[in-house]
Amino acid sequence: MSRTRFRLAGATIALMLAAVAGCSGGEGVDVDGNDAAGAGGVLNAAIGGEPDQLDPHKTSAYYSFQVLENVFDTLVEPDANLEMKPALATGWTTSDDQLTWTFTLREGVKFSDGSPLTAEDVVYSYNRIIDEKLNNAYKFGTVKSIEASDPKTVVVTLNAPTPNLLANLGGFKGVAIVQKANVESGEITTKPVGSGPFAVENYSSGDSIRLVRNDNYWGEKPKLDGVRFTFVSDPTVALQNLRGGEVHWTDNLPPQQVPALLDGDDPTVRSVPSTDYWYLALNQARKPYDDVNVRRAIAFALDREAITKAAKFGLATVNQAAIPQNSAFYYEYAPYTHDVNQARQLLDQAGVSGLSMDLMVTSEYPETVTAAQVIASQLEAVGITVKIRTLDFAQWLDEQGAGKFDAFMLGWLGNIDPDEFYYAQHHSDGTFNFHEYANPNVDRLLDQARTETDQAARKQQYDQVAKQIVDDASYIYLYNPDVAQGWSKQVSGYEVRTDRAIRFRDVALAR
Amino acid sequence: MSEQQISREGQVRRALSALRRDPLALTGTLVLAVLVVVGVGGSWLAPSGINEVDVDVMLQPPSWAHPFGTDELGRDVLSRVMVAARVSLQVGLVSVGIALVVGVTLGLFAGYYRGWLDNVLMRCMDVLFAFPVLLLAVAIVAVLGPGLTTAMVAIGVVYTPIFARVTRAGVLSVREQVFVRAAVSVGASDLRIMRRHVLPNIAAPLIVQTSLSLAFAILSEAALSFLGLGVQPPDPAWGRMLFDGRGFVTEAWWLGFFPGAAIFVTVLAFNLVGDALRDVLDPRQLTVSEARRSTA
């Protein structure tokens, strides 16, 4: 009895404390927002969800990277055209055998806490990813060793030539340079220390993440005093907040309203083609999907235009291959015209009739649920009954890993190098080849292209890979979506990037 | 015996005449009749197929061709609302059926035999009762996996305790009546006594409870499918349609409005009929309503 009362009392105190903390937190924000000393102001950005953690090497959530893009640096980083440009490294040289890369670090780079960033930090960061087998360890697959020959020089030694090493080392902030002390104290998950334009000031779970300008930043000083990220899961609400002025920037716009928003000028909404692709995969370990004719029949039965229109309201480009048009590795190949008769003929050839197909989609990505309904109605026209199975994402991943599906639909986000588009998905040893595709010819080409240093030859090899994968209908590619973001008229200097990186370093806020 | 039968016929006659006289109840009954027709014949009566996707006519406002408009995939909303009526009725009837059969059986045994059996059964019911209805239903669906059948089972389970309680309460008073003791004394078996003497005398509150539970079961089904735990797409369900229409409130109000209205009208109809039945059948309410009628 007394214990219960004690606990109740404890709960009351906790509630009161929370209320007080909430009040003071609110005041703090107001003070920041009206801070007359900083002319830059604080930009309020609404993102669709909360990061799971802020350790760039351990998180795989896009919400985390939206924040971390502004906090961390990599040796090199993609520019607007996704070409790798100097960042922490000012230059690099490659040995004649392509097996030794020597990076020269920028002078005078400091972490936001004022401590210097040296070659040792680069070595520590990369070895952490490799030794602890973190998410991005595969990007270091060909790396034999990483050494700091002096505080300004990093030498990367490889087992095999790796033409896409720069993309691996700088494609996104998942391979950022972190501080050893910050990792070892465990603070990196909530208060990471980086060398980027902003530093994390405060992370209050369930509410917001506040960044302040990093005065030790090596590049041009950001104009903003800071950025405040809030988590708004409902796109309609995010748009309302943007219109009402509580939010200056959001990427969580209701897709059905984006076409109309693009025409207006307040708020400013821009969209660019992304490097993402969405696809349908058929389980080739199961009959009859092991038969290429059945897979091709399904590819012919789909009307990609209709699927894209329903799933993305036109904010996407139909594509029958993976790599989007804006990439140097784009290969124009579209053999599958929407043709019901052709599909029926192929099914007849395969001796398949009255097929019932299980299609696994996830509520985490509502566009898969929408697209699946269109796919179901299109396949019905060729005599295939589709049973749509909507799962939550964790369960979906379990089923995918266990191979318990006839078909699934999903997307790959933010890939840059063609190796990222194909190897893990279509090599017979690929870590994401859950649909059990195996073609020795494709395996050979993928292994070869991985280490091909002649760009023209490499492009040609990937063209062959693309053609073979499309012909075999390993994945049935559907579309490359656009990335749409909106900001208020007060915001200037912001550009939407095709790799979805959110960079506020050059942004200014009019007041 | 014969007296009881006369009184039961009297009850039925009174119920019917009360329904006829009460305009609200009459409206409710008519709506339910229409609903049953639509529910049974929905797929034949519907102007177009429920999965006729045509993205060229997506999000069209109500018109003569599509009286309820079209949804984000260009499907006819009227047809989908009509076919979804079957789902709602089916879930309502089957789940309440489960609750009725299981609950009444448990309540009968608990109330008739009393003792440890009563204790065990009713404490189990208390445990189920302690959970908020929807939370329990969501938990059951989470374990069994989403779908029409599991939704029916889940809703059936969560409404079982209320039937068990209502039944037991009735049995407790009836089992002390003289005619039950008489039946015992002439050597009738327990089952026969429960079936022939106890059950008919507690039927009235059960009928009322059933009609009200139907309304709640349909609401629960809508809530479950709103949460994505009921009927799976592309099959239509009112709750699911409401959920899908949520993102379009500003551009296409008809996506959410018509399924929402269907839920509203259906639940209201069941409630009106249920209220009217209670007025007639519930002895405590009876005096009030008769007094009201006699003064009118």
Give this complex's ipTM.
Answer: 0.76
Percent of chain B surpassing pLDDT 70: 91
Residue A187 DSSP one-character state: G
Query: Using a CB-CB distance cutoff of 8 angstroms, which residues of chain B are in contact with residue A379?
Result: none
Q: Which residues of B touch A (CB under 8 A)?
A: 51-53, 55, 58-59, 72-73, 146, 228, 232-234, 247-251
Asked if B234 and A373 come within 8 Å (Cβ–Cβ), the reply is: yes
Instruction: Read off the pLDDT of each residue in A481-485 and give the average, rounded to a whole number.
Output: 94
Asked if A377 and B53 come within 8 Å (Cβ–Cβ), the reply is: yes
Tell whether the model's pLDDT for residue A29 goes beyond 70: no
Instruction: Read off the pLDDT of each residue in A122-137 and give the average, rounded to a whole number.
Output: 92
pLDDT band at B276 (very low <50, low <70, confident <90, very high): confident
Nearest beta carbon to residue A390 from set B53, B228, B248: B228
Tell whether the model's pLDDT for residue B155 goes beyond 90: yes
Number of domains present in the structure of chain B: 1
Which of A309, A365, A377, A398 would best serve as a mutation to test chain B binding (most B beta carbons within 10 A)? Answer: A377
pLDDT for B7 equals 58
Instruction: Read off the pLDDT of each residue in A471-477 and give the average, rounded to a whole number.
Output: 96
Query: Using a CB-CB distance cutoff of 8 angstroms, which residues of chain B are in contact with residue A254?
Result: 247
Residues A312-362 have pLDDT tens digits of 888 999 999 999 998 889 999 999 999 999 999 999 999 999 999 999 998
Write down the pTM of the prediction: 0.78
Tell whether the model's pLDDT for residue B16 goes beyond 80: no
CA distance B172 to B178: 13
Q: Which of A107, A113, A222 is nearest to A178 (CA)?
A: A113
CA distance A301 to A375: 9
pLDDT band at A22 (very low <50, low <70, confident <90, very high): very low
Task: Measure A377 CA to nearest chain B CA, in Å.
Answer: 6
Give the sheet arrangement for strand A100-105, strand by strand.
A89-94, A100-105, A153-158, A143-150
Helix A292-301 to helix A340-349 angle, to the nearest 10 degrees?
170
**Planar angle of CA B165, B170, B171, nearest 5 degrees:** 95
Coil, helix or strand at residue A249: strand
CB crowding B14-39: b at 16 or more within 10 Å, else e: ebeebbeebeebeebbebbeebeebb
Cα separation values, A277 from A81, A289, A319, A421, Å? 18, 22, 8, 9
Asked if B249 and A236 come within 8 Å (Cβ–Cβ), the reply is: yes
Structural domain boundaries enclosing B65? 3-295
Instruction: Read off the pLDDT of each residue in B247-272 and give the average, rounded to a whole number.
Output: 92
pLDDT for A1 equals 28
Asked if A388 and B234 come within 8 Å (Cβ–Cβ), the reply is: yes
Asked if B72 and A235 come within 8 Å (Cβ–Cβ), the reply is: no
Residues B76-86 have pLDDT tens digits of 999 999 999 99
Question: Would you tell me how many other CB atoms lie within 10 Å of the CB of residue A483?
Answer: 20
**Planar angle of CA B36, B39, B40, nearest 5 degrees:** 85
Which span out of A4-8, A302-306, A326-330, A413-417 was modeled with the highest average pLDDT? A302-306
Q: Mean pLDDT across chain A, nearest whole number? A: 89
pLDDT for A426 equals 96
CA distance A182 to A191: 8
Query: Using a CB-CB distance cutoff of 8 angstroms, which residues of chain B are in contact with residue A235?
Result: 247
Residue B19 DSSP one-character state: H
CA distance B25 to B16: 10
Determine which helix (DSSP H) or strand (DSSP E) holds A211, and give its type and residue range: strand A208-213
Asked if A236 and B73 come within 8 Å (Cβ–Cβ), the reply is: no
Asked if A388 and B250 come within 8 Å (Cβ–Cβ), the reply is: no
Asked if A370 and B72 come within 8 Å (Cβ–Cβ), the reply is: yes
Which of B48, B71, B73 would best serve as a mutation to test chain A binding (most A beta carbons within 10 A)? Answer: B73
Which of A239, A243, A256 would best serve as a mutation to test chain B binding (most B beta carbons within 10 A)? Answer: A256
Residues B28-62 have pLDDT tens digits of 999 999 999 999 988 888 888 888 888 888 899 99
pLDDT for B284 equals 59
Helix B23-45 to helix B254-281 angle, to the nearest 10 degrees?
130
pLDDT band at B204 (very low <50, low <70, confident <90, very high): confident
Task: Measure A304 CA to nearest chain B CA, in Å.
Answer: 11
Instruction: Read off the pLDDT of each residue in A148-175 and give the average, rounded to a whole number.
Output: 93
Query: Using a CB-CB distance cutoff of 8 angstroms, which residues of chain B are in contact with residue A388?
Result: 232-234
Q: Which of A171, A183, A188 is nearest to A71 (CA)?
A: A188
Out of B122-131, B190-199, B281-290, least confident range: B281-290
pLDDT: is B183 or B2 the higher one?
B183
pLDDT band at A399 (very low <50, low <70, confident <90, very high): very high
Q: Mean pLDDT across chain B, nearest whole number? A: 88
CA distance A185 to B245: 48
CA distance B88 to A400: 32
Six-digit token string for A188 = 């990196």
Instruction: Read off the pLDDT of each residue in B6-10 and give the average, rounded to a whole number.
Output: 59
Tell whether the model's pLDDT for residue B269 goes beyond 80: yes
Query: Using a CB-CB distance cutoff of 8 angstroms, which residues of chain B are in contact with residue A372?
Result: 233-234
CATH of the domain at B210: 1.10.3720.10
